[in-house]
Amino acid sequence: MSRAERLLQLMQTLRRHRQPVPGQALASELGVSLRTLYRDIASLQAQGADIEGEAGLGYVLRPGFMLPPLMFSEDEIEALVLGSRWVAERGDPRLGDAARNALAKITAVLPPELRHEADSSALLVGPENQTAPADQLLFQIRTAIRAERKLQVGYRDVQGEETSRILWPCAVGFFDRCLVMVAWCELRRAFRHFRIDRIGSLAILEERYPERRQALLQKWRQQEGIPAR
């Protein structure tokens, strides 16, 4: 493994952890000595990486450091291109534009050989199997999730019964045939899944729901048996 590859792997390892990681654990994962690890951390800090910690206490990478794009692997480039293309095709217009802009920013600073890989990627996004829900609905739901605001929706269930509900939205699942909102339902006093194409009306309320979105999402993950990311 070259030194550049080792530094990249160290950065990726630190990015996966939000709490300080002991130096010995990092050295073992990278297959290097503690002395080499300390030199690598010093090198990254000199390049601007906001790595905090010291020997015996562990190390953590603070948010904000931009990894040089030239260090992306071919697989990572393909993953970025495919993900951006998927969002551009399946998200609402603002989300689609954001995906295209992000990909353009990345490819603009790639070295020529990797830029060619991005431009000529053979991983394509196929057409949807059914008409997507109204773009405005998806945009409003995303806005409410970010602001942790309650939603009032008119919803038609699988039997065709229409109800008015107050929801605490915390996530949107993008499935091949439909989009599904995850929310705490005040009517049912439980988490429920709502197909967005069955929402007849939607309004963002001024009232914020009483929990942080991350905590709400974690409770849903525990209920569904989904490991935390």
Q: Render pLDDT for 36-62 as a digit per residue (tens, 0 to 9).
A: 999 999 988 887 788 888 777 889 988
Q: Bigger pLDDT: 227 or 100?
A: 100
pLDDT tens-digit readout, 128-157:
655 445 678 989 999 999 999 999 999 998
Distance CA(44)–CA(65), nearest Å, equals 10
CB distance 85 to 125 below 8 Å: yes
This prediction's pTM: 0.62
Mean pLDDT of the chain: 85
Cα-Cα-Cα-Cα dihedral of 33, 39, 40, 41, to 10°?
110
Bridge partners of residue 193, in order along the sequence:
182
Q: Tally Cβ neighbours within 10 Å of residue 135.
A: 14
CB distance 179 to 141 below 8 Å: no
Diameter over CA atoms, the chain: 67
